[in-house]
Structure 1
Amino acid sequence: MTNHQKRLSVPKAWPVDRKTDTFTVKADAGPHGESGVPLVIVLRDVLGYVDSTKEARYAISEGNVKVNGDEIQDEGRPVGMFDILQFEERDEYYRIFPDEGGRLSLTPIDADAAASKLGRIVGKRHVPGGNTQLTLHDGQTLLVDSEGYSPKDSLVLQNDNNEIVAHFPYEEGALVTSVEGAHAGRIGEIINIEVTSGSADNIVVVEDLDGERFETIEEYVVVIDENFIEGGDDA
């Protein structure tokens, strides 16, 4: 299989220029599915820390790059929405966040905020033993002993032990960010959730931080909290 991906066909969330070269790096298998961006693209095309895949491989082999608290050894490791990037030698920390064009961008955060990450619940099922398994947007699974979580809720997890330190229900009044569609990157409060009949998507009415309202489908919004957008401590 080829290790290259045509730039014109990369997912729209990838932060790459589609008109410069024909090919870019292909993501390895891993979190975030097809939307996952190879780590080397972030290091080279976004941050400018390296000029080539070879340089990225060397930097990573030195243990200078962590994703969600884990030391990374593969420059093709996919990263995506809400992942935490840590460059401790530089004392730099970032959260991957969708910008207003829907492309993934880096939001600087402090070291305390880098100790945890946000996850959106996309699946819930009962497993043998009486526990409940939650699946998050990046494919991570968690076993919990409570029924108090629902799909579309958001959780904040400690990176070192996956402990749930905050839970934000999906409901009217919740603070959300739109991560896809025409309103990607906008942040606001849910004013109304319009439940539609049949298989049609539910519609969410959001009032943004400037007091303007917009509509989007609920699959495009993720619940966050106020500290999350300020680069501070999620918990």
Structure 2
Amino acid sequence: MARGLKKHLKRLNAPKHWMLDKLGGAFAPKPSSGPHKERECLPLILILRNKLKYALTYREVIAILMQRHVMVDGKVRTDKTHPSGFMDVDEEGKFKLSRSAVSNFGRRAFHGHPIRYPDCLIEANDTIENTGRVGVIKNREKPKGSFESIHIQDATGHEFATCMVNVFTIGKGMKPWVSLPKGKGY
């Protein structure tokens, strides 16, 4: 009988987007419970050691974290397996992408923070991002008993459709308020 959560994660069962070596050891760092799902996050140890190359070993990552040099969303993190996700920012970031909500009440965004409208010039869902694709909303439709779908046109002129839950506002009209990758995400 199992008693509680699994505390180990084999390297071969780790998510493929972590891009771990098959022969780099038997285990991978299991993300601790937190704001992101296990399959949609990266533990801090993988970011510092494998992606940013700030440390060579597991012990060096722990030393960096215990010196309180790492901030995620404005909070110091010392947990080596803290799950950092798609919309998390490091200590240099001043803002975070959020889903715009029309109401001023407690509707929550992707990362759990409530969205409010402090500026009357912001319109909901002007410019959006869909897993790296950036475009402008052309049409919104909500069939009865189904999810709201949105038709988006990207910078190359291609149109695609997605669910409303996959859409994040990043600007107004054709002008984004955040820096975009080269090629504007297409």
Match in the other structure for 2:128: 176
Tell me if structure 2 keeps the 8 A contact 1:196–1:202. yes
- Offset at 1:65? 1.0
Match in the other structure for 1:137: 110
- Offset at 1:75? 1.2
Tell me if structure 1 keeps the 8 A contact 2:100–2:169. no
- Offset at 1:215? 1.8
What SS does structure 1 have at the residue aligned with 2:78? coil
What are the ranges of 5 or more consecutive residues in structure 2 without an aligned counterpart? 182-186
Residue type of the alignment partner of 2:37: G
How far, CA to CA, are the matches of 1:9 and 1:201 in structure 2?
32
The Cα RMSD (Å) is 3.1
Compared CA separation, residues 119 and 20, structure 1 to 2 (3 A):
farther
Match in the other structure for 1:222: 168
Aligned with residue 5 of structure 1, among 6, 9, 23: 9
Aligned with residue 88 of structure 2, among 75, 83, 86: 83
The reply to whether residue 185 of structure 1 matches residue 132 of structure 2 is: yes
Residue type of the alignment partner of 1:136: A
Match in the other structure for 1:23: 27
| Matched pairs, number | 170
How far, CA to CA, are the matches of 1:224 and 1:43 in structure 2?
27
**Normalized against structure 1, the TM-score is what?**
0.61
Aligned-residue sequence identity (percent) comes to 26
Note the alpha carbon deviations across 1:44-96, whole angstroms, 9 max, x for none: 1211111222211100111211111211111111111211113xxxxxx4xxx
Larger fraction in strand = 1
Tell me if structure 2 keeps the 8 A contact 1:3–1:25. no
- Offset at 1:139? 2.8
Tell me if structure 2 keeps the 8 A contact 1:6–1:24. yes
- Offset at 1:189? 0.7
Residue type of the alignment partner of 1:189: V
What are the ranges of 5 or more consecutive residues in structure 1 without an aligned counterpart? 87-92, 94-113, 125-130, 150-154, 156-163, 179-183
